Amino acid sequence: MTKKTKKRDGRTSDLTFSWMLTTLGAEWQQWQELAAEWMAEQTTGIHIKRDAIGRFFESYLTEYAPYAISNIELFFKGNNGHLCSNDELEALVKRTQNSAYALQMGVNHPCSFIDFVIEKVFSEKDDNGNLVPLVQNPLSKIKRQNSATETVRNPLPYRYIQDLQQILCPLPDKTELTFIEQNLKNGETLQPIYCYRHFKHWTWAQQQTGQGHQSGDWFEVEPELIDKTDPDCVWRTKEVTRKGKNITLHQIWSPVKAMVIFMKLHLPLRTYQVRMLDSGEADTWRYENGQWVVNTQHDFVLGSEK
Q: From first to last of its 306 residues, what are the pLDDT tens digits of the chain?
A: 444 445 677 788 889 999 999 999 999 999 999 999 999 999 999 999 999 999 999 999 999 999 999 999 999 999 999 999 999 999 999 998 888 899 999 999 999 999 999 999 999 998 888 989 999 999 999 886 655 666 667 778 889 999 999 999 999 988 998 998 888 888 888 888 888 889 999 999 999 988 877 778 999 999 999 999 999 999 999 988 888 899 999 999 999 999 999 999 999 888 888 887 766 777 888 888 888 888 888 777 776 666
Residue 21, SS3 per DSSP: helix
Q: What is the pLDDT of residues 153-164, one digit of tens each?
A: 777 888 999 999
Q: What is the pLDDT of residues 85-101, one digit of tens each?
A: 999 999 999 998 888 89
The bridge status of strand 123-125 relative to strand 131-133 is antiparallel
Q: What is the pLDDT of residues 232-272, one digit of tens each?
A: 999 999 988 888 899 999 999 999 999 999 999 999 888 88
Whole-number pLDDT of residue 152: 67
Whole-number pLDDT of residue 150: 66
The model's pTM: 0.48
CB 252 within 8 A of CB 215: no
Going by C-beta distance under 8 Å and a sequence separation of 6 or more, which residues neighbour residue 239? 246, 247, 248, 249
CB 298 within 8 A of CB 281: yes
Contacts of range 114-119, beta carbons closer than 8 Å, 24 or more positions apart: 114/75, 114/138, 114/139, 116/34, 116/37, 116/38, 116/41, 117/34, 117/38, 117/72, 118/76
Going by C-beta distance under 8 Å and a sequence separation of 6 or more, which residues neighbour residue 62? 24, 69
Tell me how many degrees the CA angle 260-266-269 measures, rounded to the nearest 5: 65
Whole-number pLDDT of residue 251: 93
Going by C-beta distance under 8 Å and a sequence separation of 6 or more, which residues neighbour residue 225? 252
Q: Which residues pair with 222 in a beta bridge?
A: none
- Helices and strands, counts by H and E, the chain: 12, 7
DSSP-assigned letter for residue 59: I
Tell me how many degrees the CA angle 66-71-74 measures, rounded to the nearest 5: 75
Domain ranges within the chain, ordered by starting residue: 11-133, 158-275, 280-306
List the beta strands (DSSP E) in 167-306: 218-220, 235-242, 245-253, 285-288, 291-294
Whole-number pLDDT of residue 300: 72
Q: Please state, in angstroms and rounded to a whole number, the distance separating the CA atoms of residues 32 and 15.
A: 10
DSSP-assigned letter for residue 57: I
Whole-number pLDDT of residue 235: 94
Q: Please state, in angstroms and rounded to a whole number, the distance separating the CA atoms of residues 83 and 122.
A: 17
Whole-number pLDDT of residue 219: 92
The bridge status of strand 285-288 relative to strand 235-242 is unpaired
Residue 64, CA atoms < 13 Å, CB-side half-sphere:
21
Whole-number pLDDT of residue 144: 67
